[in-house]
Structure 1
């Protein structure tokens, strides 16, 4: 690692907090609430149209998007119910996230990649999130599914590059630098890491709460015409909410990034491939787990808890 690193300032720490304030909004009201609802509504509308067309108009869904005598399906190479399609999209997005997290983990830990890649993921991810604004018609059901996967991947990668800042902020903090023994440094590192990450979570929850309230106002006061599953205005109001979460992520995300230093991680070995190195490092870590039973159980438990919480 380059020995000459900027000293961590209060301004930079607050900028780091601000990024959680920015992108947690897309995760909580956006991906967790509005995107699944939109995906389910559009897929149901498509399935009901298929049912009606295949029966020459004799079979029609009720106001809730159900047909009592048989299940409704969309076709993605095989028949799948709207509910199953929505779950499949969310499951696939998590699977792809895992692949990209491992592949790009090295870019976060080594060299001067963090700020640039955080910026790229923020811009592309938030702009695509805002793209949901035009996807309120039945024909867009499959596009919404694909866009859900892509935005979830980009959101997750942004978190990877964002979190890579934490150890560097701690190790370049004045309290850590001034610690005069290894034990003291370890104590200061633990305390600072816990304090900074906790405040980051707090800012994220505050941002999510604010935007949840604002989007709730949009839903309540937007002129929805009916409570039917195929009401166009309801779709538009949901798309407006998703657009707003993307806009929030973009604006506050870029403000946050502007306050972060271009911090350098460890020097990457010249004879290594960035992506292959990530996968080999992951493999070796998993291989070592058999010798650390408690850590293995903890990681499995954390994975299950984290995945359940996220989905």
Structure 2
């Protein structure tokens, strides 16, 4: 007689972790390190004497082009991701959809190899497609968390996933650092060509390691059947309207979602634009920036695991609050006191300690506030402000930079998001949110 398949398995959890290992190469090598400075340099080559380019006829300061593209990619996600989440909840194709978007994003990332000369629009379009696909794949990835771990284990599972992601992203970044610093010049490869090779390597890494979760994760039957006469796209639009209409019925979940949108916009803006800040304000070269982000990856690996234990000690929400206080202090320090490259390294080390914890614990806490059967749908709303996909922060940063001409004022503007997010998070009644979603309240939250 066949043994029943266990509801939760360690094998499936490990396979799930490896999608973080796979896609983190895009977050680190592309978004955080290479694309911002490189695309800005390409855009400047295409700019007129006043420093402006004109995509679609609109005047855009060359330095602001990359932040605006990040913002636009998320504006598109605001429309598409909730619909995709609803489709996933009505189908058994969560794994297949994750794989499709992963490989679309990986191919677009590999296409960045052809970004040279003054082809800034090519870079913008490819990044737009890659970042949109990245966000879509993460919706389905996050929606697996309630499937593979019970509530009392989600802090651990989520934190270990983030930790492995930092380790994977850091390993590829280390290989790229060795290539840029020690191999490119002896091989006759100039700096720009080396940057394009590194960008393409992230897409290749993403494509190769996505195979592991696709082989490990099991298909689940949907908890809601597709209504007669409906198609997945039509029910996706209808369910999105239904979710937005009924979301106020879960007021504490809604409050947490707004808090997360605010403070995570701040986190993602710092991640996406820190390299540009370091290069333009402190004159840091590509090699130094890669070293900083590489250091962050490995410290964040430890930090994500440590914050999983901190959450067990003080509770999940209090652990997130601690991390946000540190984030707020860092933005103020960058504005008023940061002067040298060495200080940039020290500041980055502090960020690394709280980086993984603030994100991993937010994900696990939110997973307990979601009504059963609507995981992908609610995580699609969550993903709108997830890593590498924030839009309010880059938009404010870009506008502040364009009108003030000051990178320091631009980074200070991001403190608003940490402050408001922290205030709202403190106001969330977490036990009530879990009860409203129809789940039992764990002993420690």
Q: Which TM-score applies when normalising by structure 1?
A: 0.76
1:7 is displaced (CA, Å) by 4.4
CA distance in 2, matches of 1:297, 1:7: 31
Counterparts in 2 of 1:213 and 1:305: CA distance versus 1, 3 Å: same
Which structure's relative contact order is higher, taking Cα pairs within 8 Å and 6+ residues apart?
1
Deviations 1:16-39 (A, max 9, x none): 111111111211222222222221
**Could you tell me whether the CA contact under 8 Å between 2:18 and 2:210 is conserved in 1?**
yes
Change (3 A) 1:111 1:295: closer
Give the conservation status (yes or no) of the 8 Å contact 1:6–1:261.
Answer: no
Whole-angstrom CA distance in 1 between matches of 2:26 and 2:85:
22
Gaps in structure 1 of 5+ consecutive residues: 52-70, 171-188, 226-231
- Counterpart selection for 1:269 from 226, 230, 233: 226
Cα distance in 2, alignment partners of residues 96 and 282 from structure 1: 15
1:214 offset after TM fit, Å? Answer: 2.0
Name the counterpart of 1:167. 146
Alignment correspondent of 1:153: 132
Determine if contact 1:121/1:157 at 8 Å carries over to the other structure: yes
Residues 109 and 164 of structure 1 are in contact (CA less than 8 Å); yes or no, is this contact kept in structure 2? no
Q: Distance in 2 between matches of 1:296 and 1:120?
A: 30
Give the CA deviation at 1:277.
Answer: 3.5
Asked if the contact 2:17/2:164 (under 8 Å) is kept, the reply is yes
> Does residue 20 of structure 1 match 2:14?
no
Query: What is aligned with 1:67?
Result: none
For 2:65, the equivalent position in structure 1 comes to 85
Looking at structure 2, the residues matched to 265 and 37 of structure 1 have their Cα atoms a distance apart, in angstroms, of 44
User: Which of the residues 258, 261, 264 maps onto 1:306?
Assistant: 264
In structure 1, how many angstroms separate the alpha carbons of the residues matched to 2:147 and 2:38? 39
In structure 2, the residue matched to 1:113 is: 93
Correspondence for 1:133 among 105, 110, 113: 113
Structure 1 match to 2:442: none
* Distance in 2, Cα, partners of 1:165 & 1:213: 30
Local SS of the residue matching 2:190 = helix
Total equivalences in the alignment: 262
| C-alpha distance in structure 2 between counterparts of 1:18 and 1:289, whole Å | 32
Counterpart in the other structure of 1:259? 216
1:160, 1:5 → 2: CA distance? Answer: 25
Partner Cα distance (2:75, 2:158) in 1: 26
- What is residue 192 of structure 1 aligned with on the other side? 153
Q: Could you tell me which runs of 5 or more consecutive residues in structure 2 were left unpaired when the two chains were aligned.
A: 270-445
Instruction: Provide the secondary structure at the position in 1 that maps to 2:210.
Output: helix
Aligned residue number for residue 40 of structure 2: 40
1: distance between equivalents of 2:153 and 2:207? 28
Counterparts of 1:75 and 1:124, CA distance in 2: 28
Is the CA contact (8 Å cut-off) linking 2:108 and 2:127 kept in structure 1?
Answer: no
In terms of mean alpha carbon deviation, does 107-116 or 140-149 score higher? 107-116
RMSD: 2.4
Q: Which residue is equivalent to 2:192?
A: 235
Q: Distance in 2 between matches of 1:84 and 1:202?
A: 32
1:214 paired to 2:156:
no
Name the larger-Rg structure. 1
Runs of 4+ aligned structure 1 residues displaced above 6 Å come to none
Question: TM-score, length-normalised on structure 2?
Answer: 0.54
Work out the CA distance in 1 between the residues paired with 2:249 and 2:82.
22
Give the aligned partner of residue 205 of structure 1: 166
Distance in 2 (CA, whole Å) between partners of 1:117 and 1:294 is: 30
Q: What residue number does 1:94 align with?
A: 74
CA distance in 2, matches of 1:113, 1:283: 22
- CA gap 1:291/1:142 in 2 versus in 1, 3 angstroms: same
